[in-house]
Structure 1
Amino acid sequence: MGKIAINIATGSLQQAETIVGIDLGTTNSLIAIVREDTRQPIALREIDGLTLVPSIVHFDRNSSAMVGNEAKELLIDEPERTIYSVKRLMGKSYKDVGHDSSFFAYNIIDDDTDSLVKIQVGDKFYSPIELSSYILKELKHRAEHILKTPVNKAVITVPAYFNDAQRQATRDAGRLAGLDVLRIVNEPTAASLAYGLGVKPEEEKTIAVYDLGGGTFDISVLKITNGIFEVLSTNGDTYLGGDDMDKAVVKHWVAELGISNAEFDGNKSLAQALRLTAEEAKKHLSSNDSFEGEIDGRKVRITKAKFNELVQPLVDRTLTACKNALRDAKLETKDIDAVVMVGGSTRVPLVKESVRDFFGKEVFDQLNPDEVVALGAAVQADILAGKNTDMLLLDVTPLSLGIETMGGLMDVLIPRNSKIPTKAGRQYTTHKDGQSGMRISVYQGERDLVQDNRKLAEFNLTGIPAMPAGLPKVEVTFLIDADGILKVSATELRSGVAQTIDVKPQYGLTDEEVERMLMDSLTHAKSDMQTRALVEASTEAEQMLETTMKFINKHRELLSGEEMEATELQMKRLKAAIAAKDKDLVQKETELLNDISRPFAERVMDAALKDAMKGKKIV
């Protein structure tokens, strides 16, 4: 009997179609499927045999993008136009990543706000979501080229520690790339699935996933019960990986060859040659006892024993993280049933031996560690396509649920296809001084503007004590119980004022309506995202104008006539940009107003500090 796929979002029958699994990585990304004939997951290869696409985007002078190996070649020649490690920026504000801005060779905008970070290339501004969508679009094209069939649906993996904002950003990037993201899956869960762990419905296991990549290390402890994966704990280091092993070898050679710091820092090509040769040595020593090479006519050599001595402290740091993860999960090494190895750096023999000795058992390392996460995503995609009935699938929400935020935007709290029961919460604040109430409007749908979605309910949270704008913290929580009933609650955390409402999210929607809403979201993905970006930029600009006006009124005497004139002129320009509805222009003019007003704020702060030093009270 042939298999019939059922659309889990609507329950309607559909033709089986290709759903791909995508590992959207910090360093490299790749795409995988389950083969129809062998029923085995495979990573899709181009004619050149490569499965990995470097997660790098380059923009030329005309703002045309290139992705992957071509972009990687321009990292050194055009660093300000070549974006790498964008995954580290997903769902983050400048305040989250500012301490690390020197790591990025490109321009991350410091707008001194909590809004999502922006990257400036020339006179264009990009969000991490847009940049990630270029990588996903490249993967989609690759898959369509290899499979000779349209690819519109995907499962995308994220680190287990990704929060709600980061997961939503990944989903949005998929949508912008023309992909219907059926499920966001934790990377350790995907790696476990690739090894067949958790596929049997009656299985109960506790497993550890050790993931050592080029730049990051993660350890996750998972409990699998009846096909359900629960993350018990995660630990790791976002700045620990294969790159650090290469650096240790470079440092050793620099000392051996007597290269001065000045020569090393001043000669970029020498530094790059040393790094690339160190990487080559690391790979060579995985199956050999010594390595010999040449850099600028100078011979370099390293033995496996010396390499192990150099990288042992790095491996020890990963084992400390493993201890912490076990402690947080309240488990001991004997409680772990299986250890799964993920990430290219786990190919180093010392790493494998150390992890095996730490956990006291052989590790799962038969699959390609670069591909294992994508292979697991393909297994999950296969289950969603209705082609693998061995694994239990919990009921899921058919459409995303969220609330209306400033500018009529839909802020999703529970994305579609979330397993139920589920719970999600996010904090909001007031936009006006002394605001005593907040209207909470609940919507269902996939579009970026609430006007294009379906309103489910609305209620007012009243009695918020009078406070300056931005000070109240209102937590809105969505809880969907096992019956699919949505409970929405809003609580002002400082005062404890609370309000709750029950909503039936699926009431009155036919399968056809759900399908139409999903199709609309994909058809309008690009224009929706542009609208959202414009609304967010305009909202931010209006808040900047209001703040600047308040500041001028309060501290007018500290500004010179020229400064007042320059500020008022820039405020006019910003208002004109908002009226022109040009996102990049709005962001540019906001940035300029920020630059003009920053010195005044510093001057006022200095004056206030001087007064304080004299014992005067600051008002």
Structure 2
Amino acid sequence: MCCACSMNRPRLRSPTGLDNASEGVYVVYDLGGGTFDISILKLTKGVFEVLATGGDSALGGDDFDHRIFCWISQQAGLAPLSDEDTRILMVKAREAKELLSTKAEVSIDAALNSGERVHLQLTSAIFDEITQHLVAKTLTPTRKALRDAELTVDDVDGVVLVGGATRMPSIRKAVGAYFETTPLANIDPDKVVALGAAIQANLLAGNRAPGDDWLLLDVIPLSLGIETMGGLVEKVIPRNSTIPCARAQEFTTFKDGQTAMAIQVLQGERELVSDCRSLAKFELRGIPPMAAGAARIRVTYQVDADGLLSVSARELRSGVEASISVKPSYGLADDDIARMLQESFASADVDMQARALKEEQVEAERIVLATESALSADAALLSEQERVDIAALIDAVRVQAQGTDHLAIKAAVDALAHGTEEFAARRMDRSVHDALTGKTLDQVS
């Protein structure tokens, strides 16, 4: 990016935080002792809208301590240490890390229970070198969060540092270089969360001073979906959707005469039901018997401002309806969310292949059922040889559906669909003939 473009980017109007009518997109970079979190907020006239969140539950300031500990052990040539000696060196490592936030070089002196003595000099340059991979690891979820928010670095107006580990100069330098702006660190990073919680609690308690008209719009951390045929997940509300929100999709029946539908509410990013978290199950009963695919069932997901999810299913022709409410976040810790997200990223390719296979297997089952139902009702429209040919095509679909090649299954399904086109046309002609028989022109028109 050219310097001129960078200089023209908007900046915060005041260095005292985000509580003075600032507007725009801001990133909250939170590196604590054991976890890393990234949040992207949009501030508009007192409304704080969370656009995306991310992070790494297995990355924090403790990892920097451990890296110094390893460096000490290597430099001093220490043998495997006892638990007590390990504790002594970890304390020294943390002290060195904290001192390097304000000094260019620190001395590490430790007398171990084993009788060995450690005396080393650790410079900020060495510290930056041995921890650069940890700093880089924080930028991976940062990039992902920006993609989720459909933003680029150029869209960011400021970066707020949260968490004691952000005092490290290497962190501030890396964040500043990535976002091309000086991070906001005017508030004590150890206190900023507590201060924010206190301000929000004060507002919720009704203690609003003039100008304290703020609203925080949160997002759902994991997608909410529904189980479909074949054990697949259809996402209804994608993750990072701002709450409150409501989404609806229409589904249909799989078999002729189906009068009930089981609804399983799911949470997660994976493609298969078995890999997601089941939140609730309920049934929609009383669906009028119809041909497969004729029913129109609208399933609505609604998440209120408190995070309560309400799911309803309604058959549009008859009006029969069923519903359930559930708290998606119940029993779900931040570490669980991070783990589920990481698993979805790591298994994305495998999941897509599994989904493609399941979709073709479901389509194979559907077309076989539909063809056999048509043969049962109107086999007389076919010659003996035509019935034999269609039976062979059905057998071919069944054989391929037992395999793992979704392209082979699709080819067999397409062959059956093509091989029954003439049969379908004859059935249509017969239906039209039966519908018109005995009626006058006036009755038809």
Band the TM-score falls in, shorter-chain normalisation: 0.5 to 0.7
Amino acid at match of 2:351: D
Describe the superposition over 1:112-153 as per-residue Cα deviations: whole angstroms up to 9, x where unpaired: xxxxxxxxxxxxxxxxxxxxxxxxxxxxxxxxxxxx999855
| Deviation string, structure 1 residues 173-228 (Cα, Å, up to 9, x no partner) | xxxxxx7785365xxxx79x9789xx79xxxxxxxxxxxxxxxxxxxxxxxxxxxx
Task: Write the mapping of 1:350-429 to structure 2, written as runs, cut at 5 A.
Answer: 394-429=217-252
State whether structure 2 residue 258 is matched by structure 1 residue 435: yes
- Displacement, 1:615? 4.2
In the TM superposition, residue 467 of structure 1 has moved relative to its aligned partner by: 2.5
Tell me the amino acid that sits aligned with residue 550 of structure 1: S
The runs of at least 4 consecutive aligned structure 1 residues that moved more than 6 Å come to 15-18, 148-151, 193-196, 386-389
Q: Aligned pair count?
A: 273
Q: 2:325 pairs with 484, 502, 508, which one?
A: 502
Letter paired with 1:567? I
Q: Percent identity?
A: 39
Q: Is the 8 A contact 1:401 1:444 kept in 2?
A: yes
Code of the residue aligned with 2:284 in structure 1: it is: L
Letter matched to residue 371 of structure 2: T
Contact 1:404 1:410 in 2 (8 A): yes
Q: Does residue 183 of the first structure (1) align with residue 148 of the second (2)?
A: yes
Paired with 1:608 and 1:545, the residues of 2 have a C-alpha distance of: 21
Deviations 1:331-385 (A, max 9, x none): xxxxxxxxxxxxxxxxxxxxxxxxxxxxxxxxxxxxxxxxxxxxxxxxxx979xx
Which of 246, 270, 287 in structure 2 is aligned with 1:464?
Answer: 287
Query: Which whole-Å CA distance do the structure 2 matches of 1:426 and 1:382 have between them?
Result: 38
Segments of structure 1 that go 5 or more residues without pairing to the other structure are 19-147, 156-178, 201-380
Work out whether residues 244 and 305 of structure 2, in 8 Å CA contact, stay in contact via their aligned partners in 1: yes
CA 1:567–1:393 in 2, change beyond 3 Å: closer, same or farther? same
Report the 3-state secondary structure (helix = DSSP H, G, I; strand = E; otherwise coil) of the residue aligned with 2:399.
helix
Q: Does 1:479 align with 2:302?
A: yes
Map Cα deviations across residues 391-418 of structure 1 (whole Å, 9 max, x no partner): 9973110111111111111111111111
1:468 CA drift (Å): 2.5
TM-score by length of 2: 0.54
State yes or no: 1:606 paired with 2:444.
Answer: no
1:245-272 per-residue CA deviation (whole Å, 9 max, x = no partner) reads xxxxxxxxxxxxxxxxxxxxxxxxxxxx
After TM superposition, the structure 1 = structure 2 runs for residues 168-567 of structure 1, keeping only pairs within 5 Å, are: 183=148, 185=150, 394-567=217-390
Kindly provide the CA deviation profile for residues 465-484 of structure 1, in whole angstroms up to 9, marking residues without a partner as x.
Answer: 22222222111111111111
**Secondary structure of 2:402 counterpart:** helix
8 Å CA contact 1:438–1:461 kept in 2: the answer is yes
Question: Does the CA contact (< 8 Å) of 2:38 and 2:141 recur in 1?
Answer: no
| Equivalent pair of 1:5/1:387 in contact (CA under 8 Å) | no
1:14 aligns with 2:36: yes
Cα distance in 2, alignment partners of residues 601 and 153 from structure 1? 53
Mapped partners of 1:490, 1:586: distance in 2: 32
Structure-2 change in CA distance of 1:181 and 1:557 (3 Å): farther
> Please, which of 351, 370, 395 is the counterpart of residue 572 of structure 1?
395
Distance 2:317 2:434 in 1: 31
Question: 5+ residue gaps in structure 2?
Answer: 1-14, 16-26, 41-135, 159-177, 186-213, 441-445
Q: 1:181 to 1:423 in 2, by over 3 A?
A: farther
Please tell me whether residue 584 in structure 1 is matched to residue 407 in structure 2. yes
- The TM-score, its normalising length taken from structure 1, stands at 0.39
- Name the counterpart of 1:23: none
Task: Name the CA distance, whole Å, in 2 between partners of 1:4 and 1:558.
Answer: 69
Structure 1 residue 5 and structure 2 residue 2: aligned? no
Distance 1:526 1:180, change over 3 A: farther
**SS of structure 1 residue aligned to 2:420:** helix
